[in-house]
Amino acid sequence: KQEVTQIPAALSVPEGENLVLNCSFTDSAIYNLQWFRQDPGKGLTSLLLIQSSQREQTSGRLNASLDKSSGRSTLYIAASQPGDSATYLCAVPYNAGNMLTFGGGTRLMVKP
């Protein structure tokens, strides 16, 4: 059974810092890995999708990397802003289907 873990569970940083969020998974036979953002009480917004054949994806100040062999992914946020404050979730598909297994999330607070 696939298990997804995110570290740290919570993170508080001053504005402007570069930061790294970590995601690990137990079964390396994944099709892809996705990073989502969730604002309090809201649904999920997809940030980045990395296919199993890719090493990284970039979108603006966000960069996600994937190392299948070690079962790890990182989300790098450059020059953090208060608007980045949210919960960040990573997820991988399971059972060869489209259902997702989610990590526990990292709650990020960026202070002005």
Tell me if 44 contacts another protein by CB under 8 A: yes
Tell me if 85 contacts another protein by CB under 8 A: no
Q: For the residues of 36-60, what is the DSSP string, one character each?
A: EEE-TT--EEEEEEEETT-SEEEET
Tell me if 62 contacts another protein by CB under 8 A: no
CB closer to another protein out of 18 and 46: 46
Report the 3 state secondary structure along 61-93: CEEEEEECCCCEEEEEECCCCHHHCEEEEEEEE
Tell me if 73 contacts another protein by CB under 8 A: no
Q: How far apart are CA 10 and CA 92, in angstroms?
A: 21
CB closer to another protein out of 19 and 100: 100
Residue numbers at the binding site for another protein (CB under 8 A): 31-32, 34, 36, 41-46, 49, 51, 89, 91, 93, 97-100, 102-105
